[in-house]
Copies of this chain bind each other. A is one copy, B any other.
């Protein structure tokens, strides 16, 4: 129980690097087409004392991005599931990280050199964007296919399994009294994977419930879309109790821009007045005095993040409600 013999394994760091551009939350990917993957870097314990230092080191060297908030997501040691069956990297353990940043013109060249690109994250998870209401694809494709998955096998010995699937479906995708919870991105992804509705599932040799297979959203290499799902879940949750949005904002911004960024991440439309009151009573921002050159209507007052709040309040986040 206290022995020290362990087997040699390799450690890799996967980074979900997020920024928001206008209304689109973006993630940095390398490669293109069906070969898109999250940026990946080795961890060398001799050169870097901690994972986070190692991560910052190679990310900043290769992308010229200024990484703000960084947090560990999860460590994946899976063989088999969510990876190629005969994966040469089977003994690579990957530690997933979430990093928040802002796009800067200076980093453009470095990104091109590294064959890295910003991609809207809802390209990978189109069913997660509820800003313009419930996505049509849910009722048109996803839910029917998942219903079919819960009843596959029919009555008899498979009935209990079907009931469990129905329960999981209701909890993760809502309906039947259960609400849609925007934080359950990972659970929804895993359900879709198990039902064989994702390209990753087909690739891993899993059966599909449908006669004419559909592949939802843009796929990624290895289990990277799952790591991205983990990151979105975590970020959507964290928004509510830590002021992490500001890592994605420029130094000065209007309240509408701030709301737009929160909406981009949470995938929900927010109630304007309530959002403003929330920001105000939380004392998260202060006016700079200046106003933005209006983009159409009345000019908006500019605000900046009140860093002092970090020292004043215990959990300063934006517990955004609905609509």
Which among A1, A6, A62, A89 has the highest number of chain B CB atoms within 10 Å? A1
Q: Is A10 an interface residue (CB 8 A)?
A: yes
Instruction: Categorize the interface residue count of chain A.
Output: 35 or more
**Which of B5, B40, B90, B315 meets A45, CB within 8 Å?**
B90
Q: Is the CB of A43 within 8 A of B77?
A: yes
Q: Does A79 contact B (CB under 8 A)?
A: yes
Candidates B6, B49, B75; contact of A78 at CB < 8 Å: B49
A75: chain B residues within 8 A (beta carbon): 51, 72, 75, 95
- In the complex the two chains form, what is the Cα distance from A80 to B48 in whole Å? 11
- Residues 223-274 of A contacting B (Cβ, < 8 Å): none
Q: Is the CB of A6 within 8 A of B1?
A: no
Residues of B within 8 A of A42 (CB): 3-7
Q: Tell me, rounded to whole Å, the shortest Cβ–Cβ distance linking A283 to chain B.
A: 13
B178 near A314: Cβ-Cβ < 8 Å: yes
| Contact indicator per residue, chain A 50-72, by CB within 8 Å of chain B (1) or not (0) | 11001000100011000000001
Which residues on the B side are within 8 Å of A313 (C-beta)?
Answer: 178
Residues of B within 8 A of A114 (CB): 1
Chain B residues, CB < 8 A from A44? 6-7
A281, CB-defined interface residue at 8 Å: no
Residues of B within 8 A of A78 (CB): 49-50
Given A39-B1, A77-B51, A311-B167, A92-B10 contact (CB < 8 Å): no
A41 at the interface (CB under 8 A from B): yes
Q: Separation in Å of the A182 CB from the closest CB of chain B?
A: 11
> A30 contacts which of B2, B6, B31, B171 (Cβ < 8 Å)?
B2
A25 interface hit (Cβ, 8 Å): no
Contact indicator A77/B50 (Cβ below 8 Å) = yes
List chain B residues, Cβ under 8 A from A54: 77
A:1-45 near B, CB below 8 Å: 1-12, 30-31, 37, 39-45
Report which of B11, B80, B310 forms a contact with A49, defined as CB distance below 8 A.
B80
Q: CA separation between A114 and B74, bound complex, in Å?
A: 30
Residue in chain B with minimal CB distance to A45: B91
Bound Cα distance from A49 to B81, whole angstroms: 9
Residues from chain B with a CB closer than 8 A to the CB of A49 are: 78-81
- A-B pairs, 4 with minimum CB distance: A6-B10, A167-B311, A6-B42, A8-B8
A interface, CB within 8 angstroms of B: 1-12, 30-31, 37, 39-46, 49-51, 54, 58, 62-63, 72, 74-75, 77-81, 89-93, 95, 114-116, 167, 170-171, 178-179, 181, 310-311, 313-315
27 contacts between A and B (CB under 8 A): A1-B62, A1-B63, A2-B40, A3-B42, A4-B42, A4-B92, A5-B42, A6-B12, A6-B44, A7-B11, A7-B43, A7-B44, A7-B46, A9-B9, A9-B10, A9-B11, A9-B43, A45-B93, A49-B79, A49-B80, A49-B81, A54-B77, A72-B74, A77-B95, A93-B93, A178-B313, A181-B315
